[in-house]
Chain A
Amino acid sequence: MSGLRLTVDRLTHRYGTLTALRQVSLAAEPGRVMVLVGPSGCGKSTLLGLMGGLLAPSEGEVRCEGEVPDDCLNPMTYVFQDFALLPWRTVAGNVALVLEDRMPRPACAERVRAVLALTGLADFADALPKALSGGMRQRVGIARALAVRPACLLLDEPLSALDAQTRDLLLEEFAALIGRAGTTTVYVTHNLQEAVLLGQQIVVLSRRPGQVREILRLDRPLAGRSLADADLAETERRLWRMIRDDAAEAERERADAPA
C-alpha cells in the first residue's frame, strides 16, 4: 500500500487556557482514508492542523513514516474548507503554484494539464476563481493538491461550504479520486454521510477537550459504497447516536456554566 503512515502520540493542544485536545493517540494507515468526526468544537480541525504541521502541539508528537515517491513535491498536502485559492491567478496558475518553481516549464505544464483533465477542469484552465461556482473552486483546490502528488492528503471539511446538491456530486468524485490516488487521507467532516461513504477508519472524537471516543473500521473499498447499504446506514446511525449525546451534553454544560 502506498502513502505515509501518520502516527499521533498522546497529543494535547491548548489555546491559552482552553484545552482543545487531550491525550489523543491514533494512526492513519498508509493508503487508507481516516475520517475524523465529532461534535462542533471538539477539535477536529485542530487535530488536522497538528497532523499537517500547521499547528505546534502543546504536548505529544505526530510522526510520519513511509516511502515518498520521487515526483512527490509536498508529502503532506492540505485541502481547505474555504478553498484558499489565489484570486489573482487563473485555475491553471493556482494548480501550478507549487510546481512552477520546482519543475521545468514543459513538465509543469504537462502535469497541470493532466490534473485539470482528471478533475474535469480542462475547459476552465484560464478562468479566474471568481468566475467559478463553489463546487468548481473546490475542484481547483483538489487539483492543486493532487498536482503535487502528495503522500498524505489532509482535507478540512472540503465540502462543507457547498450546497447540498454540489456536495453530493462532488462526494462521488472525491471517493473516486481518493481511491485512485491511493494516498493516505485524513478527512475532517461534520457530515456523517460523508464519513461512511469515504471512511475506512472513522475516528469519533468526544466533546471538548477532544479525546478519541471510538474508532470504527469500514474495510469495504470506497468504490460502490452507497447510503442505501444496510451496514453503512447502521454505521451512520451509530455515529449520530454517539455524537448527538455528546453534543447535547456539551450544550447542557454550556447552559449550566455561570455567566
Chain B
Amino acid sequence: MRRLDGKVPFRGGGFSPSDHPAAAAATLCVAVALWQAGASAGLIPTLFLPAPVAIGRALWALTVSGELWGHLSASLFRLGVGWVVGTVFGIGMGLAVGLWSAFRSPGMALVSALFPIPKIALVPLFIIWFGIGEGAKIATVAFGVFFPTVIATAGGVDNVPRGLVRMGQSFGLSHGAIVRKIVLPAALPAILNGFRVTSSIAIVLLVAAEMIGAQKGIGAFVLAAGNLYDTDNLLAGIVVLSLLGLVVAWAIGRLERWLLGWRG
C-alpha cells in the first residue's frame, strides 16, 4: 500500500509545438552572423566559403547590372510553365485515378513505374524529343511535378469522407456536381500540400535542366560561376534559389490560407 498526499501534478503539457517567427528569423541571423564572424576572423577560408558580405556584394552587383533579372526571368518562365503544365495534368490524372476504376489500376501502375526514375536522367531524351530550347527544360519540370501531383490528388480524393459523397448522391447531384462541389474542395488540402512538395521538386529539376543545356537561367549561371571558381557569384546564385524557394513556400501558404480558411 502506498500513501498519496499532496497537490495533483499537472501531466497534460507538451505535444503541441507552436510557431515563433521571431525565433526563426533570429536563428537565421545568428547563423549568418557567426558565418561572417568566422570569415572575418580568418577561420573560414573565403575560397571555400565566401563571407555573407561578399555574397551580398556579388548579389547587389548582379542586380544593378541587370544580369540577375536576365537569368531569373528565364528561370521563372520555365518554372512557371513547367509547374502549371505538370500540375494541371497531374490533378486531372489524380482525379481520374481517384474517381474511376478504369483509370485506377492502369494509372497507379504507370505512376509507380515512372515516378522513381530520376528525371535528370531523362533530360537528354527530352532534348531529343523537344529540342535544345525551352521545351526540354519545361518538360523536365512538368514531368517531375506531374507524378507527385497525381499521388497527392488521388490520395486526397481517396480520403474524401464517403458520407459527404453519399449526401450529394442522396440529394440527386450529378456526378460532375459531386466532383465540383464535394470531391475537389474536400481533396484541396491534400492537393495544396502536394504543391509544397512539387514546387521544391520543380526548382531542383529546373536548376539541373539549366545546368545541362541553357545559356540563361539561375542554373546556368551557378554552373558557369562554379566552372570559374567564382564562389561569390556561385553562392549568390544559390541564395537566389533559396529565396525563390522561400517566396514560393510563402505564396503557397497564402494560397492555403485563402482557400482553406474554413479549417481555421
Docked-complex contact B185 and A77, CB < 8 angstroms: no
Judged by a CB distance under 8 angstroms, whether B166 is at the interface is yes
**In this complex, which of A77, A80, A84, A148 has the most chain B Cβ atoms within 10 angstroms of its Cβ?**
A84
Contacting residues, chain B, for A82 (C-beta < 8 A): 163
Q: Which of B170, B182, B264 contacts A54 (CB 8 A)?
A: B170
Docked-complex contact B173 and A84, CB < 8 angstroms: no
Cα A31 to Cα B260 in complex, Å, equals 42
Given contacts A86-B182, A88-B262, A130-B264, contact A77 B171 (CB under 8 A): yes
Cα A144 to Cα B172 in complex, Å, equals 13
Contacting residues, chain A, for B182 (C-beta < 8 A): 86
Q: Mark A110-147, 1 if CB is under 8 A from B, else 0.
A: 00000000000000000010100000000000001000
Cα A88 to Cα B164 in complex, Å, equals 12
Docked-complex contact A52 and B171, CB < 8 angstroms: no
Contacting residues, chain B, for A76 (C-beta < 8 A): 170
Judged by a CB distance under 8 angstroms, whether A87 is at the interface is yes
Cα A148 to Cα B167 in complex, Å, equals 13
Cα A130 to Cα B170 in complex, Å, equals 23
Give, as a whole number of angstroms, the nearest-CB distance from A74 to chain B.
5
Docked-complex contact B171 and A97, CB < 8 angstroms: yes
Judged by a CB distance under 8 angstroms, whether B177 is at the interface is yes
Cα A78 to Cα B167 in complex, Å, equals 7
Q: Mark B165-179, 1 if CB is under 8 A from A, else 0.
A: 011111111000100
Docked-complex contact B163 and A98, CB < 8 angstroms: no
CB nearest to B177 among chain A residues:
A101
Cα A192 to Cα B182 in complex, Å, equals 35
Judged by a CB distance under 8 angstroms, whether A73 is at the interface is yes
13 sample A-B contacts, Cβ–Cβ < 8 Å, listed by A number:
A52-B170, A54-B170, A73-B172, A74-B171, A77-B171, A78-B167, A78-B171, A80-B167, A82-B163, A86-B164, A87-B262, A98-B173, A128-B264
Cα A188 to Cα B160 in complex, Å, equals 26
Interface residues on B, range: 10 to 19
**In this complex, which of A76, A77, A88, A89 has the most chain B Cβ atoms within 10 angstroms of its Cβ?**
A88
10 interchain residue pairs of minimum CB distance: A84-B167, A78-B170, A88-B262, A74-B172, A98-B171, A88-B185, A84-B163, A74-B171, A128-B262, A87-B262
Contacting residues, chain A, for B57 (C-beta < 8 A): none
Docked-complex contact B167 and A98, CB < 8 angstroms: no
Q: Which of A52-107 contact B (CB under 8 A)?
A: 52, 54, 73-74, 76-78, 80, 82, 84, 86-89, 97-98, 101
Judged by a CB distance under 8 angstroms, whether B254 is at the interface is no
Q: Which of A74, A77, A97 contacts B181 (CB 8 A)?
A: A97
Contacting residues, chain B, for A78 (C-beta < 8 A): 167, 170-171
CB nearest to B172 among chain A residues:
A74
Give, as a whole number of angstroms, the nearest-CB distance from B60 to chain A.
45
